[in-house]
A and B are shown apart, each in its own frame.
Chain A
Amino acid sequence: MLNTNDILETIRMIRDENLDIRTVTMGISLFDCISDDPERLSQKIYDKVTRSAGRLVSVCEELERTYGIPIVNKRISVTPLSYVGAGLSPDGYVKLANTLERAANQLGVNFIGGFSAHVQKGEILGARNLIEAIPQALTETTRICSSVNVATTKAGINMDAVRRMGEIIKETAYLTRDKDSIGCAKLVVFANIPEDNPFMAGAVHGFGEPDTVINVGVSGPGVVAVAVKEAGDCDFSQLAETVKRIAFKITRVGQLIASEAAKRLGTPYGIVDLSLAPTPAAGDSVAEILENMGLERCGTHGTTAALALLNDAVKKGGVMASNHVGGLSGAFIPVSEDRGMIEAAKIGTLTLDKLEAMTAVCSVGLDMIAIPGDTEASTISGIIADEISIGVVNNKTTAVRVIPVWGKSVGDSAEFGGLLGYAPIMPVKRESCERFINRGGRIPAPIHSLKN
């Protein structure tokens, strides 16, 4: 029989330490829906999404009951719509977003990602029109997520797109001003966007993927935080070992759910994403892990090193637990979604500059950060350019999801609700970078042969 302590450990993780599966995301290719008639395109997309994912929610609920572990989100990612709807006008894209919203409501899924474009070297007409449609699409819908890839290590950075995204984020903030500019929480700007990421807002169904696929994102900051606390004042080798062991266990649950969901849905299994994804709930915080390692407050000196250790150990433990790993895979640091980060940002220990440094050693980027509503579009573009440069030069994914909360300034806080949480408005530098941003053109791809 199984070991009693092992069984009780699993029960404790689920009941007391917020262990859950953060998301089961079905990727769906929409290339076979392409049509030159916008109505027909829309109908074919609605039909394909609702047909492919018709049983997604019920199968996930069945798995929750059978294995006794919550699956928090059931989501869908689709082929970036800038390709599928390349002939659409901006209005056509807004209508298509509404079609997908109807499909999401019909299926009962939390989000559909893929209102997206790749513009690292330049824009096709479809990408230009889609980007123009983003503010309105995110205002009219609640479950549609948008992402724009503005750079890759091989192509360099499309600074025209970076400048444009600063304006788009401002416009989205204005249009959703009655809800603390929540539209911006569903929009992310990427460098090196992954093609199999199950997490929002950046999930898309990439080009090399099968027709449909199941990708799973695990969670478990609370479990890691408790393990680190119980490890006490051990040395760093032991600390890394503790995190690896626990990451292995967490990821194995993800692997089990991924393979079972794929089997029951008759869909290929894609990857498990090893990310530690926090929530605003007590005891579900990445900041708390760092603080349990010995930092008085997340954001103080030592934070980047602590996060680097955590991120690496999570990957090492997780890789052995899963036969295919992908997506973002690392620790997330979304400020508004992590109670410890919220506290640290409130008292000023965690700043935008420190967060930027932290993104160099963990998975995503500047995530769910509320900034003053009067921040200039060019300043937002400057924030994007800095963060994207870190990804491009270091050959990794980075991203920006900032929310310039309309009408609010430093000292206020924004409330996004649910898993998106709440956040204090963090200060940005007031000095302009407009002349720099307005240069236009592309920042060339970095050289990677001279490694020193």
Chain B
Amino acid sequence: MKAVVTVTGKDKVGIIAMASDECSKHGVNIIDISQTVMKEYFAMIMLVELDGMTVDFASFAEAIKGRGLKLGVDIRVMHEDIFNSMHKI
């Protein structure tokens, strides 16, 4: 199963390091990554593979969200199908 991790908020040092650290800690494989910075606003999107994940979906989502809060960014993990459904015919 694939999920999309979105990180949005104010840009600062260490966001990508933190997010990828949290992924590797839980056995989550990053397949693709892209980021944009508009003025101070930061948006990073990671496509991740969850098949080797060592915890359940909710625990991973909560853990990475918690780490994000400490850095002042909003992190959401969502099944890729919600985006496929909405944006592909």
Contact = CB atoms under 8 A, between A and B. Distances in A.
Contacts of A256: 81-82, 85
Contact of A253 (B47, B74, B86): B86
A260 B82 CA distance: 11
Nearest to B77: A68
For B78, B80, B83, B85, the residue with the greatest tally of chain A CB atoms inside 10 Å of its CB is: B85
Contacts of B4: 2, 7
A253 B85 contact: yes
A252 interface: yes
Contact of B87 (A11, A67, A69, A249): A249
A1 interface: yes
Interface residues of A, number: 21
Nearest to A66: B79
Interface in A1-16: 1-4, 6-11, 15
Contacts of A10: 78, 82-83, 86-87
A215 interface: no
B50 to A, nearest CB: 10
Contacts of A8: 6, 8, 43, 45
Contact of B82 (A3, A4, A15, A69): A69
B58 interface: yes
B12 to A, nearest CB: 19
B36 interface: yes
B36 A4 contact: yes
Interface string A244-263: 00000100110110000000
Nearest to B47: A1
B21 to A, nearest CB: 22
A6 B87 CA distance: 7
A253 B86 CA distance: 6
B3 to A, nearest CB: 8
Given A8-B43, A15-B74, A65 B82 contact: no
A255 B43 CA distance: 28
A256 B45 CA distance: 22
B57 A65 contact: yes
B87 A3 contact: yes
Interface string B45-89: 101000000000110010000000000001011111111111100
Contacts of A2: 4, 45, 47, 80, 83-84, 87
Interface of B: 4, 6, 8, 32, 34, 36, 43, 45, 47, 57-58, 61, 74, 76-87
The 7 closest A-B pairs by CB, nearest first: A68-B78, A6-B87, A252-B85, A256-B85, A67-B82, A249-B86, A1-B32
15 contacts: A2-B47, A3-B87, A4-B45, A6-B83, A6-B86, A7-B4, A8-B45, A11-B6, A66-B57, A66-B78, A67-B78, A68-B76, A252-B85, A253-B86, A256-B82
